[in-house]
Amino acid sequence: MNVRVYPNGDLASIAAAVLIAGQVVDNPRSVLGLATGSTPLPIYRELIAMAHRGVLDFQNVTTYNLDEYAGLGPDHPCSYRRFMQENLFSHLQMRPEQIHIPNGLAEDPDAECRAYDAAIAAAGGLDLQLLGLGSNGHIGFNEPAPHFTTNSYCVRLSEQTRRDNRRFFAEGEQVPTHALTMGIASIMQARRIVLVATGPNKAQAVKRMVDGPVDPMVPASILQMHRHATILLDADAAALL
């Protein structure tokens, strides 16, 4: 794993955007795995700015998002479908057929997850997967557990993750208990992985991901085994390295 530390989050985000842009310039038909949450927002703003300047063209890109809350439909303000539409896709004029996100309302979530993995495989696999890092070491919604997960599946969210994500939900609204997520094997099959972590609340998870043993209680530590994983950190997230 190639770890790069930047003085601040803005520079780490620009570095991530440059890697994604490079992928799309090299192969305009790239298949990208995308993430939601706070971390990707400045990265998406950079990509949008590059597209608006005419440097980048997303018209032939295909995207697969990491995860979606179970029980939230595409119009729910906290659904990841809505997040992606508002923070990236609508600004790039992406067409619905380019975009893939697990269906949080699927009657049979397991079948939805199987179909999701099959669709990624049929698209030729992910050229580049963008990841954030949970403060508990999760990637996607693969929570700390006794074993690494394999393919996409419906997961029960840990209490820490539900607390961390409370900030996105309105007062009085329940944070969902479950989510559909790409599994660890699905993520590890990506040809390139770019993980970005910023801020002091990620420092402990970063330390365990980079310096600790490969341990399913720190799901991101599996990235030590990936052939082409780039970890972009700001100084706060890298403070314990």
Binding site for ligand F6R (CB under 6 A): 35-39, 66-67, 132-134, 138-141
Residue 220: CB minimum distance to ligand F6R, A: 9
Between 37 and 74, name the residue whose CB sits nearer to ligand F6R: 37
Establish whether 138 is a catalytic residue. yes
Is 140 or 183 the residue whose CB approaches ligand F6R more closely?
A: 140
CB of 69 to ligand F6R, least distance (A): 10
> In angstroms, rounded to a whole number, what is the distance separating the alpha carbons of residues 79 and 103?
10
Determine which one of 65, 112, 117, 138 is catalytic. 138
Residues 6+ apart with CB under 8 A from 116: 64, 100, 102, 152, 180, 182
CA 13, chain centre distance (Å): 14
Closest distance to ligand F6R from the beta carbon of 169 (Å): 13
User: By Cβ distance, which residue is nearest to ligand F6R?
Assistant: 132
Q: How far is CA 203 from the centre of its chain?
A: 18
* List 46, 143, 164, 234, catalytic entry: 143
Q: What stretches of 172-238 adopt beta strand conformation (E)? A: 178-181, 193-197, 229-234
Choice between 38 and 204, CB closer to ligand F6R = 38
Q: Which is nearer to ligand F6R, 60 or 177 (CB)?
A: 177
Is 86 in the active site? no
226 tagged catalytic: no
Min. distance of Cβ 146 from ligand F6R in angstroms?
A: 19
Q: Are 138 and 161 spatial neighbours (Cβ–Cβ below 8 Å)?
A: yes
Rounded to whole angstroms, the Cα distance separating 116 from 130 reads 17
68 in active site: no
Q: Which residues are catalytic?
A: 67, 136, 138, 143
